[in-house]
Structure formats: structure tokens, C-alpha cells
Amino acid sequence: MQPLEADSTEVAPPMVFSLRISLPDLPGMLGRVARAFGKGDVNILTLDVVDRKDGTAVDDVRVEAPRGMQEALRRAASDVPGFVVEYVRPLEAFRHVLEPLELAALLEESGPAALVRLVEQLPDTLGASWALVVDVSAGSAGPPEILAASLGAPSAARLPAAWLDFSLLDSLGAGREVARQAPHHRGDGLEVAAALLDRPSAAVVLGRQRGPRFRASELRHLGLLARIAAAVSVRSGTLIEVI
């Protein structure tokens, strides 16, 4: 096995990377992955299980490694059969990321700020690039209304119609999906998912740039967190509930 080497010869302070990995769900596989990373002075900080299905485990991992290691981290997968690095995202610093249950508790305490807290925290909690809350009740009579948005979220004018078709969603999940993945748009590598809030025209939209498609477990979390935020907002008078 060749040691991992940074993509630059310059010595720089280490940084934190967020990775989505998949590997065979077998005893000892995580140990082999840790050894592969350890060859390049990579320190695993956290590991969260995203999904386990059909003999494959999908995990989100945060590691500390020398700067310039982004592609080297991807190459580490070639040394372990069945190990795939699906996504690598550099972070400027390690910070605590709220788990879905922690975010749910925060939303319950947020009152009228629930929608703002939702879009602030969702990108980190679900490993996305941006989040926004949009209302399309105006239909063809006007543009969609952005009710809340995280940093990096697109403006209303840049939202494709395919992202704003909420007809397959149901706020109560009665016989239909609570959250869904939006169709690909222009092949730009952006994955988009949406979940309804308190009405058929309002939803939280989540975007993941150059990352893997949203897993079923992530869509479930998105749907449940959207429902909690909507309920808190309705109680606080932020949204007007539509029956």
C-alpha cells in the first residue's frame, strides 16, 4: 500500500474534511479503512452511520488531514476492496454538528425563529450545501417567495420549476412520500430534495453540490424535521396553517 501524500509539497496546517464513504458491512472493514487513512497522517474525528442495506454500510466521516489531501483521500479507497469515497468536502475547522434529534430539540425551542434555525442547521446536519424555505402559492401569477434561506442558497429567480413541483409530497405522509429527491437539472452535479411544511405550497428545499444522492434515511430525517419546524411555526403564528 502506498502512503497517502498531499497534492502539494507545501507544508500547511491541517484542515478538516467531511467524507461520505460506503464499504462492505463486514467485521473488520472499518479497521482496514482506518489503517488506509492512517498511512497519510489522517486522524478520524467522527463517524456517523447513514445507512445499512444489502450488505453495504454508508457512513459520514470527519477527518483531520494535511491541506491538499482531498484527492489523496479519494485514492485511499483503491487500497481496500469494496471501499468507496463518494464525497469529500473540505471544512475550515472542526465544529459540532447537530444530529437530527438535537436539531429537532432546537427547533422545538425556537418559536417564531424555527424556519430560520431549520435552514441554518440543515446543511450541516444532512451534509448539504444550502437550504431554503419557499412558498409557491402565487403559482403562475408571481415568483416563488423565499421565507428563509441559508448562506449559499439560490435566489427565487434561479429556482427551476422542477424543484418547485410539490405535488408528490404530502405534509402528513399519508400514502405518499414525506420527502423526495428532485429530478436532476442540467447535469450540474447538484442533488436536490424537498419536504412539505404546513401547506401544499410551502416546502423546505435542500441542495447538495457535487455530492451523493440523498439516502432514504436522510429523506426521512428531512421530512420529519420539516414537519417539526412547521408545527412550531404554526404555534408561534409565523405560518398560517392551511386546512
Whether residue 177 is found in the same domain as residue 59: no
What pLDDT, on the 0 to 100 scale, is given for residue 3?
A: 53
In a domain, 1, yes or no: no
Residues 26 and 105 in one domain: no
Same domain, 36 and 109: no
Please indicate, yes or no, if residue 4 is contained in any of the structural domains.
Answer: no
Do 106 and 206 lie in a common domain? yes
Specify whether the CB–CB gap between 132 and 149 falls below 8 A.
yes
* Distances in whole angstroms, Cα of residue 111 to Cα of each of 107, 116, 149: 7, 10, 17
In terms of domains, do 144 and 195 share one? yes
Q: Please give the single-letter amino acid code of residue 25.
A: D
Number of domains within the chain:
2
Instruction: For residue 28, count CB atoms less than 10 angstroms from its CB and return exposed for 0-12, middle for 13-18, buried for 19 or more.
Output: exposed
Cα(208)–Cα(127) distance, rounded to whole angstroms?
7
Count the neighbouring beta carbons within 10 Å of the beta carbon of residue 142: 10
pTM for this structure?
0.74
Domain end residue (candidates: 36, 68, 91): 91
Co-location of 85 and 106 in the same domain: no
Q: Which of 155, 152, 151, 205 is nearest to 183 (CA)?
A: 205
Task: Give yes or no: residues 194 and 136 share one domain.
Answer: yes
CA–CA dist 152, 164 (Å, integer): 18
User: Are both 115 and 84 inside the same structural domain?
Assistant: no
- The two most distant CA atoms of the chain are separated, in Å, by 62
Look at residue 243 and tell me if it is in a domain.
Answer: no
Same-domain pairing of 51 and 162: no
Residue 108 lies in a domain: yes
Cell of 21: 464513504
CATH number at residue 56: 3.30.70.260
- Please tell me the number of Cα atoms within 13 Å of 222 on its side-chain side: 32
DSSP state of 169: B
| Residue 3 belongs to some domain of the structure | no
Whether residue 52 is found in the same domain as residue 105 = no
Domain end residue (candidates: 35, 65, 91): 91
Alpha-carbon span 17 to 43, nearest angstrom: 10
Q: Is residue 194 part of a domain?
A: yes
163 close to 192: Cβ distance less than 8 angstroms: yes
- On whether both 126 and 221 belong to a single domain, the answer is yes
Question: Residue 119 belongs to a domain with what CATH number?
Answer: 3.30.450.40
Sheet holding 56-66, edge to edge: 43-53, 56-66, 14-24, 84-91
Domain that holds residue 72: 14-91
Q: What is the pLDDT of residue 65?
A: 85
Low-confidence ranges of the chain (pLDDT < 50): 1, 171-177, 185-186, 240-243
E-strand stretches of 30-96 = 43-53, 56-66, 84-91
Could you tell me if 74 and 109 lie in one domain?
Answer: no
Q: Residue 226: inside a domain, yes or no?
A: yes
**The last residue of a domain, from among 72, 91, 110:** 91
